Amino acid sequence: MDSPKPGLFHPIRVSSLDVPGNVWLAPMAGYSDAAFRSVCVRHGASLCFTEMVSADALARNNATTLCLLRKASNEKLTGFQIFASAPTMAAAAVRRIVPLGPAIIDLNCGCSVPKVLKADCGAVLLRSPVLVGSIVAAMKSETDLPLSVKLRLGWDSSSLTYLQCADAAIKAGASLVTLHPRTRAQAFSGTALWEHIRALKQAVTVPVMGSGDLFTAKNCADMLTRTGCDGVMLARGCLGNPFIFAQTVELLSGSAAAARLDAGERLSTAMQHLRMLAESVGEPKACRDMRKHFVAYTKGLVGGSLLRQSVVQAESIGEYEEIVESYLRE
């Protein structure tokens, strides 16, 4: 594969915030916890977002929700993402989280999970650009930190409102916009329509991050080249594959794509991930939570199916170690 033109990897300035690179980790419910963010930072992510958290729960000082905002020891820049249905709720959440030290606060305007939609949050906001602007304005009234919004194209194919929502958010004080170019109705089906990222970039003056169908370093280079967006935000493509951050940085900097990692390196990283998760949530819970990550780390490995079946029964780090060591010996 030809190397892309040097210069695709670069810093991004978001209002008063200087981010040293343009390859970021997206907020992912159930996945982008402190342990996984730490792994992604080690492998080259310039900025990582926490899991999406409820503004209402934050305003009520919900302990479980606040735990989701704990930072990893190696995180220098962490973005917090909230979901909210009303300006007052969002403002209260911002007041609560500013002392926790986020680098940037994002408003989710794209989540299509039913329980989020039932709360009139997430992708529901795409139906009302005016409300998006009002919520961002309320958040802005509580902080000088940079604010951003993460959008989908619209509620469905007959109502593509992303340009209006972006415009309203920017006028209210947002300094960055991320677009996943699918509609709420599509969820994750079909193909991400990158041409809309290009349209958004041409329409606004703030930095634009692109998301959607980024599974390889080449995908990231192609998105930047084809859309002109300022950076990429990796989600599903980095699950079990945090190595994609370093691979992408190398490729965007003009180097050839790195060779595929062998099973030993992938499983070693998975075990490091598990140990950090255990430090955060305790060993029993970490071993349960790690199962979904382990499925991703072992995808494509020879004999990976049997390995995953064994891990489902593991209840301690020692059992994980025995399973991995046995697999590598065989």
pLDDT tens readout for residues 117-151: 999 999 999 999 999 999 999 999 999 999 999 99
- Rounded Cα distance between 4 and 247, Å, is 13
CATH 2.60.120 fits 263-329, yes or no: no
- Rounded Cα distance between 102 and 80, Å, is 6
CB 80 within 8 A of CB 100: yes
Return the beta strands (E) in 47-175 as ranges. Answer: 47-54, 78-83, 104-109, 147-152
- Per the DSSP assignment, residues forming a β-bridge with 79 are 49, 104
Span 199-218, pLDDT tens digits? 999 999 999 999 999 999 99
Rg (CA), the chain: 20
- Rounded Cα distance between 252 and 8, Å, is 5
Q: Does residue 59 carry a pLDDT above 70?
A: yes
* Mean pLDDT, residues 6-12: 90
- Rounded Cα distance between 43 and 225, Å, is 23
Span 236-295, pLDDT tens digits? 999 999 999 999 999 999 876 555 678 889 999 999 999 999 998 999 999 999 999 998
| Closest-CA residue to 194 (of 236, 155, 228) | 228
- Rounded Cα distance between 53 and 31, Å, is 13
- Rounded Cα distance between 261 and 297, Å, is 11
* Mean pLDDT, residues 167-182: 98
- Rounded Cα distance between 159 and 113, Å, is 19
pLDDT reported for residue 17: 97
pLDDT reported for residue 5: 59
Q: Does residue 187 carry a pLDDT above 90?
A: no
Span 286-324, pLDDT tens digits? 999 999 999 899 888 888 888 888 888 889 999 999 999
Whole-structure pTM value: 0.93
pLDDT reported for residue 1: 43
pLDDT reported for residue 188: 83
The mean predicted confidence, pLDDT, of the chain is 93
Q: According to CATH, where is 1.10.1200 located in the chain?
A: 263-329
| Closest-CA residue to 109 (of 124, 89, 90, 88) | 124
- Which has more pLDDT, 165 or 184? 165
* Mean pLDDT, residues 176-193: 90
CATH domain 12-252 topology: TIM Barrel (3.20.20)
Q: What is the biggest distance separating any 2 CA atoms in the chain, rounded to whole angstroms?
A: 60
| Catalytic residue numbers, as ranges | 111
- Per the document, the length of the chain is 330
AA identity, residue 150:
K
Q: According to CATH, where is 3.20.20.70 located in the chain?
A: 12-252
Band (pLDDT 50/70/90 cuts) for residue 33 is very high
In three-state form (DSSP H/G/I as H, E/B as E, the rest C), the secondary structure along 165-226 is: HHHHHHHHCCCEEEEECCCCCCCCCCCCCCHHHHHHHHHCCCCEEECCCCCCHHHHHHHHHH
